[in-house]
Amino acid sequence: MIFVDDGSTDGTFKKLKAANEKNPNIKILKFRKNFGQSASMKAGFDFAKGNVVISMDGDLQNDPEDIPKLVDMLETRDCDVVCGWRADRKDPLSKTITSKFANLIRRSITSEFIHDSGCTLRAYRNECVKDLELYGETHRYIPAMLLWKGYLICETKVQHHQRAHGITKYNWKRVVKGFLDLIVISFWQKYSVRPIHVFGGAGLISCFAGALIGGWLGIQRLFFGMGLSDRPLFLLVILMMMVGVQLIVSGILADIMLKVYYGEDGRKNYLVERLID
């Protein structure tokens, strides 16, 4: 059992240390400062050694009694991750509404079907969590990231209790940060292999539109004697052509950087489920 102390100042570490002295199976990771939930989960995943990894918040709103159900479903169903679904949430109405709205946006962008991506009570096969890169507020998009990587996701309803201690840190700032992180990981999953497709495509559209407008202005100049220097459209043509070229060059540079990224440390742009030789 691994506890991650995310730079707490309420005496949590002292209590965890006392628990460790009584039970050496309890492991503690203490951060030097608060790094956030994504970093905490990543650290726990990095140090987890079992074939099945369970993640759970420390606010006591999730019930450990649901863990056997998650593990049983993981072993009996053909899935790699089992996500908890807080169907009967005990959170304030404002948080529940905000969470449902965020889930709606997430599903529309990621095409992921999980009802409650914010519930961290989950059971994973170990190889799943070792393949995750978490930062910012991306912990809430773990199911989507694993689904994009080809892992099979299941979900089941779990219990949820009212918060007994502390106060929630969920607010509109975290919603905004989470939405921005969603845009980043969605872009990465779709275009991380060939970013030239999105940058180059946008650049070609900009150049093509600029060429069309420029051609029309050229016809007006040649056949109707209309001036160009005092026309805003002429400046727009120059701008669109410059932006188009910059986008294409950015796509090429991004492709080059990706080749360097995948070339370092033997990184692969694929995952092998099994090898039959």
Structure token pair of residue 232: 């805003």
**pLDDT value at residue 255:** 84
CA-to-CA dists, residue 61 to 13, 168, 174, angstroms: 20, 11, 19
Q: Are 68 and 158 in contact (CB under 8 A)?
A: no
User: With a cut of 70, which residues of the chain have pLDDT below it?
Assistant: 165-172, 262-277
CA-to-CA dists, residue 162 to 61, 62, 91, 157, 260, angstroms: 6, 9, 6, 16, 48
For the segment 153-167, what is each residue's pLDDT rounded down to a tens digit? 999 999 988 877 666
**pLDDT value at residue 115:** 85
Cα 115-120-123 angle, rounded to 5 deg:
90
Structure token pair of residue 221: 């100049």
What are the residue ranges of helices labelled H in the chain? Answer: 12-22, 37-47, 67-76, 93-110, 126-129, 142-148, 172-191, 196-224, 232-263
- Residue in the block written with tokens 């160009």: 228
**pLDDT value at residue 124:** 95
Q: Determine if the pTM surpasses 0.85.
A: no
Instruction: Please tell me the CATH code under which domain 51-191 is placed.
Output: 3.90.550.10
For the segment 33-65, what is each residue's pLDDT rounded down to a tens digit? 988 888 999 999 999 988 999 999 888 888 999
**pLDDT value at residue 56:** 93
Compute the CA torsion angle 83, 133, 199, 174 (nearest 10 deg): 70
Distance CA 131, CA 148 (A): 12
Using DSSP bridges, classify how beta strands 52-55 and 122-125 pair: parallel, antiparallel or unpaired.
Answer: antiparallel
Cα 54-60-65 angle, rounded to 5 deg:
55
Residue 142: closest CA among 81, 195, 76: 81
